[in-house]
């Protein structure tokens, strides 16, 4: 499974471009461990998971509240920001009769609220005081537009080609009521109350302009929960997140963000400059079936050791980052990494270099009457063009991923996420007022 690393700036390779360290906190402490989780789960192995930057010690939990991500910037926060412990995803449809004018007013309200909350300030005159005692806690709020948004606002000519609906996949068992939407909001924070506070503020700000279409809640390991920063585990118990594109890679921006020059490739119109496209999938893990497998069988499904994430081809001295040898065989001539192993199928070099940054959340929505858990992954991946990132990998997974019998894709969405707002702007202003 692919490597991922922290967002970087030329001056400090360990600090996200949308993050700043409050007085009294080192920039390394600002990042924390914040390792993101998530397996590809039949959706996008080109950039699976999130590996935290090396550090000698975990971030003290007492420092988490002071960590702050910046609202204004070249890109929206929540794309390359280190993964947070708590997340909420929510999609809205514009209300009947609401159009471009109402959408612009809504994005203006949402942007102002996001800016305030990310700075640790009250939401405004209607603040609920839920997060009154907390700091920013690495809160990020990210906004995107769905395919249907453009028709409802009379902006059909501005709809990017890259936002065309995703094709059908054989693994899909999609609930249309929990898929797509006119508007999409991603909320992440390292404190559950701070995250809920933002969710409630966004929902209240929608007013009569938009109604909730669906909403999902997720979680990850909290920064400071382990003795040292490490790649997190998913609900299958696998070390999940080894090979994501790194901001230091020469082609990182080209693969993840839409070019500034309008009309470049399928990235889309000028208003999408420095933006990205996000694929969101609710992927249920069939945990009862998975947990019935032996350890050896689980490792062969993935292609990596469960204990430390090292490739099965690496031997006893291998680590999580050891290069996988796809041609290695055992004494009987059998491939050490099975031909249908998830990690083999999802490698970028097996998919024409397809790449995406993955920032998923795990979820658990209770148990059914038989005690079967409704749990899995809120898969979230970012790329400059989903037709070159998510789609080709998913098609290949459809043709023979060993993991596919242990997962079920239950909801899906694709959204255009514009670049970050400059000082004095709101997110999407270049589209709505252009």
Residue 92 C-beta-side C-alpha neighbours within 13 Å: 26
Torsional sign, CA 68, 73, 78, 79? negative
Are 344 and 350 in contact by the 8 Å Cβ rule? The answer is yes
Number of H helices, E strands in the chain: 10, 13
Catalytic residue check, 240: yes
265-289 burial: b if 16+ Cβ within 10 Å, else e: ebbbbebbbbbbbbbbbbbbbbbee
DSSP secondary structure string, 101-163?
A: HHHHHHHHHHHHHHHHHHTT---STT---TTTT---TT-EEEEEEEHHHHHHTT-GGG--GGG
Are 245 and 50 in contact by the 8 Å Cβ rule? The answer is no
Residue 180 bridge partners (DSSP): none
Which residues lie closer than 8 Å to 1 by C-beta, 6 or more apart?
39, 40, 45, 48, 49, 240, 241, 242, 243, 302, 304, 309, 342, 343, 346
If you count them, how many residues does the chain have?
434
Q: CB neighbours (10 Å) of residue 292?
A: 10
For tokens 């609930």, the residue is: 175
CA distance 220 to 362: 6
Q: CB neighbours (10 Å) of residue 348?
A: 18
Are 342 and 38 in contact by the 8 Å Cβ rule? The answer is no
Catalytic residue among 3, 172, 182, 240: 240
Which residue numbers are catalytic?
Answer: 240
């Amino acid at each position: 499974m692919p490597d991922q690393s922290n967002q970087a700036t030329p001056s400090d390779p360990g600090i996200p471009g949308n993050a700043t360290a409050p007085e009294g906190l080192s920039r390394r402490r600002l990042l924390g461990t914040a390792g993101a989780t998530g397996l590809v789960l039949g959706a996008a192995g080109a950039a699976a998971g999130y590996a935290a930057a090396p550090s000698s010690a975990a971030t003290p939990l007492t420092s988490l509240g002071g960590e702050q991500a910046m609202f204004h910037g070249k890109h929206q926060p929540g794309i390359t920001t280190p993964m947070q412990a708590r997340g909420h995803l929510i999609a809205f449809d514009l209300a009947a009769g609401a159009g471009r004018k109402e959408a612009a007013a809504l994005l203006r309200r949402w942007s102002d609220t996001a800016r305030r909350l990310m700075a640790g300030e009250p939401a405004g005159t209607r603040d609920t005081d839920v997060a009154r005692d907390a700091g920013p806690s690495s809160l990020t709020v990210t906004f995107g537009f769905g395919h249907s948004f453009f028709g409802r606002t009379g902006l059909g000519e501005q709809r990017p080609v890259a936002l065309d609906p995703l094709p059908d996949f054989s693994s899909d068992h999609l609930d249309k009521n929990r898929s797509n939407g006119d508007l999409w909001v991603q909320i992440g924070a390292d404190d559950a109350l701070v995250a809920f506070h933002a969710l409630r503020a966004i929902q209240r700000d929608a007013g009569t302009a938009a109604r909730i279409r669906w909403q999902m809640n997720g979680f990850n390991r909290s920064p400071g929960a382990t003795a040292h920063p490490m790649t997190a585990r998913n609900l299958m118990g696998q070390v999940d997140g080894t090979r994501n594109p790194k901001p230091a890679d020469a082609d990182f921006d080209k693969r993840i963000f839409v070019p500034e020059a309008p009309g470049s490739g399928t990235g889309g119109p000028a208003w999408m400059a420095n933006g990205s496209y996000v694929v969101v999938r609710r992927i249920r893990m069939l945990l009862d079936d998975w947990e019935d497998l032996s350890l050896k069988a689980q490792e062969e499904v993935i292609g990596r050791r469960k204990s430390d994430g090292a490739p099965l081809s690496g031997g006893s001295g291998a680590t999580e980052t050891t290069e996988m040898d796809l041609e290695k065989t055992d004494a009987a001539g059998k491939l050490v990494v099975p031909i249908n192993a998830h990690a083999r199928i999802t490698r970028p070099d097996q998919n024409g270099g397809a790449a995406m940054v993955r920032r998923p959340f795990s979820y658990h929505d209770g148990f059914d009457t038989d005690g079967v858990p409704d749990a899995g992954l809120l898969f979230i991946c970012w790329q400059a063009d989903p037709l070159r990132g998510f789609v080709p990998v998913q098609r290949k997974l459809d043709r023979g991923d060993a993991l596919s019998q242990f997962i079920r894709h239950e909801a899906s969405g694709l959204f255009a996420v514009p670049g970050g707002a400059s000082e004095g702007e709101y997110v999407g202003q270049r589209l709505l007022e252009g």
